[in-house]
Structure 1
Amino acid sequence: MTEKTWWDGEVVALYIAPAANEPMQEVENVLLVAEQGIVGDRYYARTGTHSGPGEQNYEVTLIESEALESVQMENKISVTAADMRRNIVTRGFALSHLVDREFRIGATVLRGIALCEPCPHLMEQTNHKVAVGFIHRGGLGAKIISGGTIHVGDCIHD
């Protein structure tokens, strides 16, 4: 793990799902492969809901734990990181600032591609109130520039 400074964020949870619509599994570490994804995850295997032609094929997705907490408080509902179907849950770093920028998590290098807005699939999996709460704060889709292993507790920095 890299040492955290006051301006860095950190990884607080990691999730993978072996196939579309399979439950997300919380894990302690994940192996990222450049231009492919997370080993063991649905998008690495190209079996994710958004893996088809014309889809925005992110190799990894991230979400801020602070966004999860805010939506829960504002809407008085329970929503977990697993419900949001994101791979990496962060704390202390504004992911929206990483669109079109490279950043590091531990020894890996990622490039933010676009914000992950709620989609119809998310509405089916949760409920409308949850999905609406995540407009403009549903996370970040990214490409893997340089792979490696990410662990819970690793630092995020640009």
Structure 2
Amino acid sequence: MSTLPRPGRVEWIGLRPARGVAMREVESAEAAVGAGLAGDRYKGGSGKRDVTLLQAEHLPVIAALAGHDAVAPATLRRNLMVSGIPLVALKGRRFRIGEVVLEGTVPCDPCSRMEDALGPGGFNAMRGHGGLCARIVSGGTLRVGDAVVPLAEEGA
């Protein structure tokens, strides 16, 4: 269960400056313990949702289920889109992205806003494909192109 085939990669980073406004695509973001990502509206939250991650490989599935040719990462309002590593395997585990250590906390379930973003049935199109929430364990800079690397589990 702890062995993964290879590291993943950050493909896209987005910040949500405020509720209901367009996401801002960036090449890098500063992550701070207890403060989330600088420029993101969720900064300083509960800690379970400091950063939200989405599986790049799920974008075509979500698009197909919602009846679209494609879906842009910003439409789904997650902070990081990563490829090459199964996010579900990071739930309850620590992992490194660039300088930052994160811990996968809970699934990032879709919200009712997906009905507006994707059209009728958008919420259900995302069910099971919403990604992962994570808390920041150790801060630093995240960049597009950074590797997503699981850390060795304690006692393993």
TM-score, with structure 2 as normaliser: 0.85
The amino acid that maps onto 1:9 is G
The amino acid that maps onto 2:108 is C
CA distance in 1, matches of 2:142, 2:48: 20
**Pick aligned residue for 2:73 from 81, 91, 101:** 81
| Moved segments of 4+, more than 3 Å | 73-76
Q: Indicate the SS of the match to 1:128.
A: coil
The amino acid that maps onto 1:42 is R
Query: Does 1:137 find its partner at 2:112?
Result: no
What percentage of residue pairs aligned between the two structures are identical? 34
Residues 24-43 of structure 1 aligned to structure 2 (within 5 Å): 24-43=23-42
Aligned Cα RMSD in Å?
1.9
CA distance in 1, matches of 2:148, 2:55: 12
**Pick aligned residue for 2:138 from 146, 151, 155:** 146
Q: Indicate the SS of the match to 1:63.
A: strand
**Pick aligned residue for 1:93 from 85, 100, 115:** 85
Residues 13-92 of structure 1 aligned to structure 2 (within 5 Å): 13-44=12-43, 58-77=49-68, 78-92=70-84
Q: Which moved more, 1:12-21 or 1:129-138?
A: 129-138
Q: Indicate the SS of the match to 1:144.
A: strand
Q: Which moved more, 1:126-135 or 1:144-153?
A: 126-135
Alignment-derived partner of residue 98 in structure 2: 106
Deviations 1:47-83 (A, max 9, x none): xxxx6xxx88511100011111222234431322111
- Give the 3 Å change call, closer, same or farther, for CA 43–71 of structure 1 in structure 2: same
TM-score, with structure 1 as normaliser: 0.84
How many residues get paired? 145
The amino acid that maps onto 2:83 is R
Query: Does 1:122 find its partner at 2:121?
Result: no
Alignment-derived partner of residue 3 in structure 1: none
Is there any run of 5+ residues in structure 2 with no aligned partner, and where? Answer: 151-156
Is there any run of 5+ residues in structure 1 with no aligned partner, and where? Answer: 1-5
